[in-house]
Each structure stands twice: as structure tokens, then as C-alpha cells.
Amino acid sequence: MPIKTFKPYTQSRRKMSVSNFSDITKTDPEKSLIKIIKKKGGRNNTGQVMVRFRGGGHKRFYRIIDFKRNKHDVLAEVVSIEYDPNRSSRIALIRYKDGEKRYIIHPVGVNVGDFLISGPDAEIKPGNSLPFTKIPVGTFVHNLELVPGKGGQLVRSAGTAAQLLAKEDDYVRVRMPSGEIRLIRANCYATIGQVGNLDHENITLGSAGRSRHIGKKPHVRGTAMNSVDHPHGGGRGKSKGNNQPRSPWNQPAKGFKTRSKKNWDWVIVSHRNIVRRNK
């Protein structure tokens, strides 16, 4: 997917880059697989802002994605590759032999007209979904389950892939895109291959308008606020008052551990920070 740039007739155009969408084969989504999503502006059910600086943006439909791939041993043909405004990756529309249609995340190397299948006896090729017990060690996978039957929860964004490192009784060792090595149950499903749209990370928004179009509002610095609004606020000049970097609710912003050791430490074989430090 090549990146398209523009002649710099304005400063924003000089830095802006977009996808040329040459990999898209169909522009209109499948009507039976979309639903309306209501914008919340970062607010919860009581109206309180839980995620700041969100609001506006273009109207979009949600595409219902099949993360479970639970229709086993039935061949499905790839009908089209489509754009999804709700995620960084492309999506592929597949049609099963019985006529049912579903959306899946589009992997690298899967084209229109290819046939995919899910199940324990599926072939090891991009787009097929299998349990870890049937996947060879060293294979790159995406759309990983954490709970058997719940559907893929990990490694779903554009260009990402995890690698199966080892099998140990009821668990397997998987290297995540972050470098973290963790244990996952061996009966969980994963999809073979790397997620497509590899050039997504090379796209530059280039202007505030494109950011607002996505639904992101300007992110205000804490030092630009008053002291009543943020621990970094107030004072004379650009100063945070010799305070450590922290959130508006006084939680440290650098080095503060938020992951529960009680629940997750036994699953993590090697933390990503340790891997980066060794490099």
C-alpha cells in the first residue's frame, strides 16, 4: 500500500501523507454487517468524562468483525478487501459455502478469490485460524485469543504480528509485538500471518483538521492550565513547580506500575521493558 504525498502549497500539505487505497477492492460496506454506533465523547453512562480530548469526528458505521472464527471446517472465499474507519487495519469480506458472509481482519498475502478455513485441521497459511496446539513453533500469528471461545483480543492493529516460541503442556509461549513474552492457553485460537496495511505507521496527519476529523480534540498541556485544574498548572512562566510528571489526578506519569502483579505476573515470562534494556 503506497503512501501518497502532496505538493507543499501550504505548510500542512508539506507534511501530510495519506494512503492511496490501492488495496481496496470495494467501497461500500456489506449492509447486513454494519450497525450504528452512538458517539459518547469520552463520557460514561452518567455523563462524566472518562477519556479527555475526544469529540466530534466524521460519522461512521461499525463493521461487525468475526474475531472468533468459530465456523470450523467450512471453506470461505475472500470476496473483497475494504476500508474500516474504526481500526487501522483493512478488513476482508469472506463468503462461506453456505452463503453466509462475515468480516475478518485482512492479513498480508490474502487476496480476493483466495479460500480460507478455520479449525484444527486447517492448513498453515495466512488467513487460516487454528488452535495453538496445531500451529508449528516459530509461526507468526495475529488475532490471539486469551480465553478459549471468546474471540481474538490481542495483535489486531495494522502491521502487527506475534511469534509462537514454545509449547509447554497446557500453555504456549508467545512473543508479543512489544517484545513481551507471555503464556497463553494452548487451546486458544490464533490466525496465521501478519495483519495487513503495513504502511499505516508511515502516515502523517499533517494538520489539526485531520485530527479533528478522526474525533480527537486538542490535547492541552498541564503546564498551560491553572493550578486548580492540574498539578503542573499555575506559577510564573513555564514551570511545573518542581513536581514529578503526573496526571491531573496525581498519578505519576513515568515509571508507575499499573498492572496487577497478583493477576498477571505468573503469565508474563519476560517483560517488554527488560527486553528493551537488554538491547
To which H or E segment does residue 124 belong? none
**Which CA distances in Å does 68 have to 93, 130, 166?**
15, 11, 23
**In whole angstroms, what is the distance from residue 267 CA to residue 147 CA?**
13
Both 190 and 232 in a single domain? no
* Residue 170 burial (C-beta neighbours within 10 Å; 0-12, 13-18, 19+): exposed
First to last CA, the chain: 31
**Which CA distances in Å does 219 have to 3, 54, 210?**
27, 9, 14
The model's pLDDT over 89-110, given as tens digits with 9 standing for 90+, comes to: 999 999 999 999 999 999 999 9
Q: What's the number of domains the chain is made of?
A: 2
User: Domain containing 262 — which CATH number?
Assistant: 4.10.950.10
**Is 214 inside a domain boundary?**
no
**Is 208 inside a domain boundary?**
no
Contact 90, 84 (CB under 8 A): yes
Residue 275: band (very low, low, confident or very high) from pLDDT cuts 50, 70, 90? low
**In whole angstroms, what is the distance from residue 152 CA to residue 130 CA?**
12
**Is 234 inside a domain boundary?**
yes
Both 75 and 164 in a single domain? yes
Our measurement of the distance from residue 98's CA atom to the centroid of its chain's CA atoms, rounded to an integer in Å, reads: 30
**What 3-state class would DSSP assign to 190?**
strand
**Is 49 inside a domain boundary?**
no
**Is 51 inside a domain boundary?**
no
Write down which residue in 163, 196, 229 finishes a domain: 196
Both 137 and 82 in a single domain? yes
Both 241 and 159 in a single domain? no
Both 153 and 65 in a single domain? yes
- Domain span holding position 274: 220-279
Kindly report the pTM of this predicted structure. 0.90
Both 107 and 239 in a single domain? no
Both 34 and 161 in a single domain? yes
- With b meaning 16 or more CB within 10 Å and e meaning fewer, what string describes 252-263? eeeeeeeeeeee
The model's pLDDT over 143-189, given as tens digits with 9 standing for 90+, comes to: 999 999 999 999 999 999 999 999 998 999 999 999 999 999 999 99
Write down which residue in 196, 231, 250 finishes a domain: 196
**Is 192 inside a domain boundary?**
yes
